[in-house]
Each structure stands twice: as C-alpha cells, then as structure tokens.
Structure 1
C-alpha cells in the first residue's frame, strides 16, 4: 500500500519549534514568530498543466488519505511546504524517509516525534514522478494559513489531558494463532480488519440439530475468510463479485465491513460495504458538483444461496451509495444489535458508521455539521424495508429524525456529530458503544444515544474546535456550553498516549475473570491495549482509562516489537465462546488472549 508520501515533512518552522517544547499540562499555547526560511527554491516547480495534472493523480492515489492543503491530519498540512522546504530535500525524503530519519535529519526527526509514524522508502518513483508530484503540491500553495483568519477563541491548550494513563497492573498472555495470507508484498501485508461471530441456529428441518457458531475475518483488499480451527479459508472474494471494487489508496478503503442478518440461516442475507471509483454510478447521498468526489462507498445486500456452505454463492443487491470528499473516514462499520430479541423494534435493523470523509479537513465542514446530511453520523436502516428515497431499504419510524416530521432532517440518522465512528459494539447491559477517531488531540469512546449530537466538527473530545481555523488546536469549552446540547465521550485520551482509537468489546467470557465487565480496546498506531469499567460508563462523566501489559512466550512485549513497526494497525475481535482476539494489519498476525493475571 502506498502510504503518506509526506507524513513527516515539515510544514512550517514555527510548527517544528513547537514540537520541541515540553508539554506543560493545560497551559495555553504561546504564539512564536516563525523562523527565517532557508534553502527554499521558489522557481523549482513546474507550472505546466500536464505535469500538474499528472502530479494530481499521484497525490490523489498516494497522499490524499493522509494530507491536504488546509489542516494537519494523519500527516502534516502541505499548504506551505514547497515555499518552506527545498525541492531537493523533499525529493530525497520521498525516496528514502527512513534513511533521512536514521541520519538524524533535524526536521524529519522532529516530525517523527510528533506523528510517531514513518513512511517507507519510495525508490520506485522516477524523477519525472517526483517533479510532477511537487508541481501539484506547489500549485496548491496557500500563502496565508487558516489560523490567521480563524475565529478568535483565545489561546489553545498545549496539553488537553495532562494526566497520564495509569497502569492497571494486569497482564494479558497472548498466544499466536496464525498469520493471515499476504495480500500484498508491501506493509501492511494483510489488511485484516474486522472479526465477528455468526451465531449458530437450530436446523429448520431437524430442530434438535444446531448449526455451530462460525467466525469470520475480513481483509480490506476484498476477502472474507472463515476461521476454521487455526486456519483461514476463503468464504467470499468481493473482487470477483464486483468488478468496480477498488482497495486503493489504502487506509480504510476497500472491503470496509460485513454483517450477517440475525436470521441469516433462514433468509441467507449478508451485508457488506466496499469502495468504488468516483462516478461509477449515481450516488444516493451526494453534494454540490463544485465539491470534489474522491470515491464512493457502497452498501450491498447479498442473498446467499446455501447459508451453511463453506464457500459463498449468491447474488447481490445494492442498497445505497455515498459520495465522499476524500479516501478517509468512509463507511467503515456496519452491524446489527446482537442483544435485540425478535420482538424488539431494534431487531434486524442495520447500524452504519459513516465518517466525515475528510470533508472538514478539506474545508467543507458544513457537510458533516448538518442534520440533513448523512456524513459524520451513525445511521440506522431496515434493509428489508422499502420506504427510503431510492426504494431499496426502509427508514425505521423509531429513528429520531423520522419521528420529528421535519423534511429538513434525514430520517436515516440515529445519532450524529462524529469524525470517524469506526467501531460499534454493545455491552451486556445494553449500552451502545461507539469509538470515534479524533483529528489531532482526542480519541473518544461514546455511549450511542438516539438523536444525540457528539459535536464534530465543533467539538473534539471534551474540547472546543474551530473547523474554519487551525484544527490541530483545541480550546476549553465555553462557559455557556450547556446551551449547545452536545453529548460528550464517556472515556477519552489525548495524543500523548496514542493517535487513533481501536474499538473493542466488553469481555463476558468465563476464561478471563479479571477482564469480566471491562471494555477492552487500544490504539491503532502504537498498539497499546487499554480498558475501562463498563459498569461505570455514564453520560456526562469520563471514566479513567487504564493500560494492560502484554506477554508472549513468557516475555513482556509490545505490538510494536511483535510487528517490527512503529505503526501496528491494531484491531480487536471476538471468537468462539466469547474469546478475545487481537491482530495487527502490519504483519497479519492473529493472537488469542489465553489469560489475564496480576503478576506478583
């Protein structure tokens, strides 16, 4: 996967200076004058339209998931980089960023310390490719930063959450189960992403014969596996079913998520999401044609011919299609409420976590700050109904904006105000738990409440944000915040601790008693594993997050050590008998938690 050409490229000397300053918990960020720029080659970039167009294609395919020209996100804002860093240095860095860092290059080291990731070398790029890429970036130069025209909110917070996460004293013993088949020679070797159990059901013909539980694991590059013992067997390959499928440019694009209908063994219905190129087909959820479309996310209902068979055969029906501004924060999660009984109004309703698609970072914050638009929300639909605008699915009458009889609100929305609601699960006592990956400061765990607004892009965590200004800065909540009616996370951590929350599950199995009742989750990037007490999760308060240690083969370790990478791409899954699994996309390794204990 091509990943973040300029992840560590410095965008301003002022930002680099701030990166060196020690955190001073809760203290206001002090502005400093920018240092004199050196080594800049203002005439080094081509203005030829054909070269710029080639560079645009390279940027869209390889850089846009992590970078834009307005905000810092996964990587730095590139709006001013070509007037502050020389073309010679940029080309050297793109060709071999790890080498630049190993040479202790000053600006590469400072940005590595901030973003805590390193991009691979791209020695395959030709001089012509690099010239075109830099020409496009220079053509998007912003002479004035957003911060200079931002709404005045006072001084930002240097360290939003000063307190460090506590060690719990608990240790997880992990046992390696398997390495997923490589779907690429480049890291990540296997983009394994979601693991879920398909519960067994009594046979329709012979009720005393029960179909056993089955476990499935999906690779974002298009494959749905069934885990049989310690072996992964291909159940479905979306690449063969949908010729317009694209897994590029990486991150969360590709085969996003899957969910089996709770009556799967009766109706054979399976749901998936995947990405296709912009303009492949008319979108059900679109916006003004003056706003770019990077790709489309598609929700499909599959009618499986033989639900008990080991290999998929069947037909697909498209339910809906959504345009997205960029390749990030798409339709990454679909799921049914596993606690809903057949008599419950929630039974058979499909939840969908739709991110903002990077719209806020690209300057289109209004797309995800609107009750009439689907972006930045958790939607809930009845896949077997037909009262939607396109007539392919139903809008449950219990949905908050279906009940309000207001044509200006979107009936599909269950709750909204998210940047990237990438995982949804339920606790045994019925709490809906939604993890939301933050911009540059806070990672969130939220209680899902019908009709609630979680604040994005006006809020990140329990902090104020200015979507029209510098979004790498957050501010204290205003004194009259109660009038905003925003809902806030029940647990959070800032980027001193990690960079992207990886959603998990409340442990309910009998084999790990010290974990019972704990919501176990972690950080995508550094692979640290955390928990909160599920019973303590209540609206209006934030519970403490605690860290657990990891042990493999009797030795204390970390996922960074195990995967051999600073970016682990950690994920969590549930297996048979409520078994807890952890896996890393970087190397495709799957681990089972065999014990949780407190060392003496």
Structure 2
C-alpha cells in the first residue's frame, strides 16, 4: 500500500538512465509485484501516477517502514489501510539506491488511468453483500501445541502452509513450510523429514505469497509404493515448460509438480529419487499451484482411486491484462486438474489423463483433458464432505471470497465473474456489477457460500469436522487468511439448491477470549486450517508460526 503526503514531483527528481530503470524493474518484480501493478488494484493500490502525486522523500519513508508512518497519524495512510486492511511490509533491508531504483521504474508510469466508472455494465456495486456474517453463539476452545521452527528472522517467521495426515496402522501428521521443509508433528514437536529446497537448484520461495513449497500429497498406497508428490516454484526458464505461451508475455515463475520415490516410507527421514511430472509458466508471482490432493474417500476399486487433483490459480494473468491465458478450458491456468501420476498419455508422456475426465473424450483437440473444472482465480484449498461432495475455496480480487461445490466440467466464472457478480475482465477489475440481462446465455456455476471484503480479504479453506467434539460435528470450518476470523457452514447446507449461511465462531486461546490478530500482534494473521491424526482439527498462523488444536466448543 504506497500512499502518503501530497506533493507533486517533476520527472527530473528520478533517475532516467536505462540501467537504473531496469534494475528498478527487477527489484519491483521481486519485492512489489505480488501486491501492486500499474493497471489494476490488487492486494495494494494501482501505482500508476503515484510519483506525480507524492513527494519522493515521503515515498521513501513509506517503503522503508509503512507501519511507522501510519502509526504516526498520516491521514492518507490511515484511509488506505482501512480500505486494504493490511499494511505494506517493511522493506528496511533495501538500500537507499535500491529504493531509488524502484521509484525510478515506478516513475515511468506517470499517467493515471481514470476510466469512467459508469459504463455499459451499469453502476458499480459499492457493497456487494450488505448482510453481515452473524455470530453463532459458539466458541472454539484452542490449545497451543507448538511453534514451528523459524525459517526466517522476520515476519512471517515460519511459512507453515499445509497439514496432512498419512494414514496407516498409526496415523502420522505432517506440515510443510513454504520455504522448503517438510516436518512431522509428533509429541508436540516438529521434526524435519525433508528439505526440497536443497534438492531443487532453481527453487525459489520469494517474492510474494504464491512461491515456494506449496503443497504435498502422499499416494494412498504410500507405505507400499513410497510415492510422495510435491509442488514448488522455480526461477523463470529453469527448464522447458509443458504449458508455455507467446514469448511477448513475461514469465516470472515456473510451477513444478514432482513425484518422489521414497526409499523407506516408514522412516523419520524421507530420502529418494525425484521425477518431474509437469511444469507451467506463470506471468506473475501470484496465484500459482496451490494444492495437490488425492480423494481421501476413494478406495482401490473406485475410478477416482490414485488420481491426483491439482488446484491451479490464474497466475495473475487476468489482473496483468492477459485474461486470454485463463478464460477457457483450452488454457491450463485458473483450473482444477485431475491426472493419473502412473499414466503416460499426456502430451509430455510423464503422466496420464484419466478417460473419466470431463474433457478427455470430447473430440475437441483444443480443450485440455487434464482439466476437471475451471474458472478459479486462486483455488487455495480442497476438501470432501463425508458424503463425497468436493469443496474448493477460491480467493477473490477486490470484492468477493468464494466457497464452491465442485461439479466435473463446470465453469466457476473467473475472470468474468467474482462470486455472483459481473466483472469487467477487459477493463478495471476493482469493481463488480449486477449480473447482466444476457446472463442466461452463460453456464457459470455460482458459489455455495460467499462473503465480501467488509468481512475479510482472503478465504482460508477448511474441512468438515469429524472428530469427537459433538457441537462441531458436520460443520465445515473455515475462515479468513488476513483477519483470522473463523467461520462455519452446516454440512447439511452443502447443496446446489440454495446458498449456505455463514456463521462465525468466537475464540478462546488457552481459556482467554481473543482474536488471531491480537494473538499474532499483526494486521495479517495468515490463518490456515489442518487435519491431524485421529481427526484432530488444527489452526495455525504463518505470521508467528504457532499451531493451535481445537479442544472444545462452548455455547454462550
């Protein structure tokens, strides 16, 4: 969020030589592009014209430590913090020359696009969902289990991102850190079992929220075949991509799916050989591969057994002006894939395309047989209900957060829709509109549940509770990444017939009422949900690396 005191600058206040601007572009891409662009509002504001509006010293102060400027009472900073909810992180590690180079690059975008807000789509909707989420009268009781090992010396201290159970005679719980490490959670301790960053020379975990060791999945027959799957990000052009695009469009990261053959699956250390399955180019550093998972309900004779699901964001392509990279099932991005890791009928011959996939046998050479469903901006988590219904949470742009009930072959609307609202994907995407008169011509599927940005900024997907706490049974528990609020919907409300009502839990931390924002002492709680051994339900925060277990539920 770059904002501050008004004060026009002349172009001569910034270096104009080619080298400084190119250096600034590289630094901007690495440090700023996951939140800012010059065409759209995203996690932070559109920066076009900012150097003509604000003084150079004010911009430098803000880049160095935005929170101290806001805490000092800067009116514009306070206003935009209220709008975007989260302050820009401190960049005190950057030198004055580096900050100056970034601003020299930003200064090349001196003209602000003031597109009309009244257009053929009608008036933009200021408050898409005026109804507020209600308190449920239920309070989750949370017990602190442990704190993850720091993988950095500044927030987020531990980028713990996903927890998984390895089924067996004795269930084992694992959690990964986006910076490359896989841990086993045992007796309230995290023990490193693997570090993929050391085995992948081009591995990167910065910049932004979408880089690093994104997810892992054990094959359902892991103890016999030793197969483990991971996704991670690499530097651009690290290797030829299986899903490239014209070279006029930048490649900022590559997303890679890897199969590991673990020598001793029962060991406390995972060692073995790796095999790359697929590699995808992305035009920005956001919304990459999010999760890989096997259907936990599928059994050996089921058609879904051993098939791997992969949720794939749009790579920021829509916001970057490349919506054609993500708006049809002829493109891999913005999709949920389903593949057979043991097959070989894919174009690269490294994995299989199941014949039961919706586009595998449609006799259209342009569609991608890997695609199971599409139309997602940032599908971050997958879950199945006890009855076998598939749910995917999808993080929105500026307006709507979605929870979707998945149908094979369906289109969930992105980038033409955000929730149940129209989005102008060919123009400014910071506003939503009422559905247009021709909506019946489209076959988009709308969310099972949704909330707008009055409530939170980024949905954090969860699971249907199946543990021993009676008041929580058959509740799909989820929340918001940024605010740390925790919600639920009833499992019986998971139907395509009508939207499900979202209700909110209160929280008790070691018996004391509080919130994750207060507990983490941060505007961005970075909340995630996980399932552990014996159906235990966990919540954890990347900001401070703490892992909490749900131990009870009280009625007010």
TM bin, normalised by shorter chain, reads: over 0.9
1:199 aligns with 2:157: no
1:161-560 superposed matches below 5 A: 161-200=129-168, 211-510=169-468, 512-560=469-517
Matched-pair contact (CA < 8 Å) for 1:284–1:320: yes
Equivalent of 1:109, from 78, 84, 93?
78
Q: Measure how far apart 1:92 and its partner are.
A: 1.5
Q: Which segment is superposed worse, 290-299 or 473-482?
A: 473-482
Report SS of the residue matched to 2:501: coil
Report SS of the residue matched to 2:408: coil
CA distance in 1, matches of 2:359, 2:434: 30
Q: Which residue pairs with 1:135 in the alignment?
A: 104
Gaps of 5+ in 2: none
Report SS of the residue matched to 1:256: strand
CA distance in 1, matches of 2:119, 2:454: 26
RMSD: 1.4
CA distance in 2, matches of 1:119, 1:67: 10
Q: Measure how far apart 1:325 and its partner are.
A: 0.6
Deviations 1:104-157 (A, max 9, x none): 111111111111112333333322112110111111344434x34996211100
CA distance in 2, matches of 1:165, 1:403: 43
Q: Measure how far apart 1:534 and its partner are.
A: 1.6
CA distance in 2, matches of 1:320, 1:122: 34
1:567 aligns with 2:524: yes
Report SS of the residue matched to 1:258: strand
Q: Measure how far apart 1:251 and its partner are.
A: 1.1
CA distance in 2, matches of 1:142, 1:41: 13
Q: Measure how far apart 1:57 and its partner are.
A: 1.2
CA distance in 1, matches of 2:269, 2:149: 17
CA distance in 2, matches of 1:173, 1:55: 48
Report SS of the residue matched to 1:52: helix
Matched-pair contact (CA < 8 Å) for 1:169–1:598: yes
Change (3 A) 1:379 1:50: same
Change (3 A) 1:160 1:382: same
Matched-pair contact (CA < 8 Å) for 1:500–1:523: yes
CA distance in 2, matches of 1:198, 1:538: 29
Matched-pair contact (CA < 8 Å) for 1:488–1:540: no
CA distance in 2, matches of 1:448, 1:122: 40
Q: Measure how far apart 1:238 and its partner are.
A: 0.4
Q: Measure how far apart 1:9 and its partner are.
A: 2.6
CA distance in 1, matches of 2:369, 2:533: 36
Q: Measure how far apart 1:540 and its partner are.
A: 4.8
Matched-pair contact (CA < 8 Å) for 1:8–1:118: no
Q: Which segment is superposed worse, 134-143 or 68-77?
A: 134-143
Q: Measure how far apart 1:437 and its partner are.
A: 0.1
CA distance in 2, matches of 1:597, 1:591: 17
CA distance in 1, matches of 2:93, 2:292: 37
1:593 aligns with 2:550: yes
CA distance in 1, matches of 2:208, 2:444: 33
CA distance in 2, matches of 1:326, 1:104: 34
Q: Measure how far apart 1:489 and its partner are.
A: 0.2
Matched-pair contact (CA < 8 Å) for 1:417–1:454: yes
Q: Which residue pairs with 1:9 in the alignment?
A: 3
Deviations 1:464-491 (A, max 9, x none): 0001112110001123312211000000
| TM-score, scaled to structure 1 | 0.91
Deviations 1:78-117 (A, max 9, x none): 1221222222211111122112101111111111111111
Report SS of the residue matched to 2:360: helix
CA distance in 2, matches of 1:150, 1:350: 45
CA distance in 1, matches of 2:118, 2:30: 30
Q: Which residue pairs with 1:92 in the alignment?
A: 61
CA distance in 1, matches of 2:89, 2:367: 44
Q: Which residue pairs with 1:208 in the alignment?
A: none
| TM-score, scaled to structure 2 | 0.98
CA distance in 2, matches of 1:428, 1:143: 51
Deviations 1:224-249 (A, max 9, x none): 00111101011110022212111111
Matched-pair contact (CA < 8 Å) for 1:302–1:317: yes
CA distance in 2, matches of 1:363, 1:242: 31
CA distance in 2, matches of 1:356, 1:141: 28
Equivalent of 2:87, from 114, 118, 122?
118
CA distance in 2, matches of 1:154, 1:575: 48
Report SS of the residue matched to 1:71: coil
Report SS of the residue matched to 2:398: coil
Change (3 A) 1:8 1:549: farther
Report SS of the residue matched to 1:43: helix
Matched-pair contact (CA < 8 Å) for 1:487–1:540: no
Matched-pair contact (CA < 8 Å) for 1:520–1:531: yes
